[in-house]
């Protein structure tokens, strides 16, 4: 297996099941075993998924020196994620609240605290041991992009819901990414047209657009081809939060193993389908052996 450096957000996430959207006002609603707090965030989710799939992961992130930060550190250690690059310099650890219904729809409230104004110093981090760098699109990851590119380390990033390919916030991440993921939630036109405009501008090696229940669309620069992959199903959907992180993580994992991009995406869909049978963005990641079993024996 491979050594992978992940740089990204870690937060404490509270999920709450609701009866449906829109939510009707009520002063109190009893949701027995429907409210749970766990550690999540894109950086944590990706690091945990890659670790579950057998890789050695170091996570660079920023936390607060508070109870939530201690909870996050404990979760990293329990998940066997190397926390030696965690810096506890924030005023408070980021947090989020996720409302979700039985159909998988969700509403997320994210409080990043002061993380977007706080820098991370990557100067003394040696990248030579790593086969890939996952740079999540949080501000403190930006210095890592040029450092990894100069070192010749493949960069993977997910810009999530994107509506403008020239978006000021995400442009630097897209320009450096060898493997670029995004969602179809805010795009205009067809996935293929939107992806083509990205490739023409940034020349990424692989671009994958997650399309939820409609599957995913992938572009490969080698061969200049598009590939559509239907969504997989391995059980009852509980909560779709973190599905995109799971898809992204599994693809990067399998790509590092040397599988073809098509095989990577096929199995990544299965990995994501297994993940959403569990509640919480950082839960439901199956092992590499279990993924292979599910991929070869679909339910």
pLDDT at 282: 75
* Residue of 224, 234, 228 lying closest to 216 (CA atoms): 228
Within the chain, which residues score under 70 in pLDDT? 281, 298-299
pLDDT at 237: 83
Average pLDDT, the chain: 94
pLDDT at 68: 97
Residue 261's alpha-carbon distances to 64, 198, 223, in angstroms, are 38, 18, 12
Give yes or no for a contact between 227 and 269, defined as CB atoms under 8 angstroms apart: no
State the pairing for strand pair 216-220/206-210: antiparallel
In sequence order, what E strands does 49-92 have? 56-64, 86-90
CA atoms within 13 A on the CB side of 193: 6
Per the confidence metrics, is the pTM higher than 0.75? yes
> What is the distance between the alpha carbons of residues 46 and 282, in angstroms, rounded to a whole number?
8
Residue 287's alpha-carbon distances to 26, 50, 82, 232, 294, in angstroms, are 41, 9, 18, 17, 10
Q: Which helix (H) or strand (E) holds 196?
A: helix 191-202
Domains defined for the chain, CATH in brackets: 3-22+31-296 (3.40.1190.20)
pLDDT at 298: 61
| pLDDT tens digits along 206-263 | 999 999 889 999 999 999 999 999 989 888 887 777 789 999 999 999 999 999 999 9
> What is the distance between the alpha carbons of residues 13 and 67, in angstroms, rounded to a whole number?
14
């Amino acid at each position: 297996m491979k050594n992978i450096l992940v740089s990204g957000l870690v937060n404490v996430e509270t999920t709450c099941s609701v009866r449906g959207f829109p939510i009707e006002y009520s002063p109190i609603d009893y949701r027995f075993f429907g409210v749970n707090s766990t550690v999540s965030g894109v950086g944590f989710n990706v690091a945990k998924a890659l670790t579950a799939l057998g890789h050695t992961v170091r996570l660079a992130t920023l936390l607060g020196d508070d109870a939530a930060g201690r909870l996050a550190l404990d979760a990293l250690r329990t998940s066997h994620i190397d926390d030696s690059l965690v810096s506890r310099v924030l005023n408070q650890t980021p947090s989020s609240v996720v409302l979700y219904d039985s159909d998988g729809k969700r509403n997320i409230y994210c409080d990043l605290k002061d993380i977007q104004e706080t820098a991370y110093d990557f100067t003394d981090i040696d990248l030579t041991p790593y086969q890939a760098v996952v740079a999540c699109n949080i501000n403190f990851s930006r210095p890592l992009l040029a450092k990894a590119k100069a070192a010749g380390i493949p960069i993977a990033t997910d810009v999530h819901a994107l509506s403008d390919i020239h978006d000021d916030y995400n442009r630097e991440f897209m320009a450096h990414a060898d493997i670029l993921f995004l969602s179809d939630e805010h795009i205009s036109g067809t996935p293929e047209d939107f992806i083509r405009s990205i490739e023409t501008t940034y020349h990424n090696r692989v671009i994958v657009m997650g399309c939820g229940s409609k599957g995913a669309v992938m572009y490969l620069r080698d061969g200049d081809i598009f590939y559509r992959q239907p969504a997989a199903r391995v059980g009852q959907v509980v909560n779709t939060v973190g599905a995109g992180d799971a898809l992204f993580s599994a693809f990067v994992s399998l790509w590092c193993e040397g599988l073809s991009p098509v095989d990577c995406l096929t199995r990544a869909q299965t990995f994501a389908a297994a993940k959403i049978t569990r509640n919480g963005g950082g839960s439901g990641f199956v092992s590499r052996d279990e993924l292979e079993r599910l991929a070869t024996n679909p339910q």
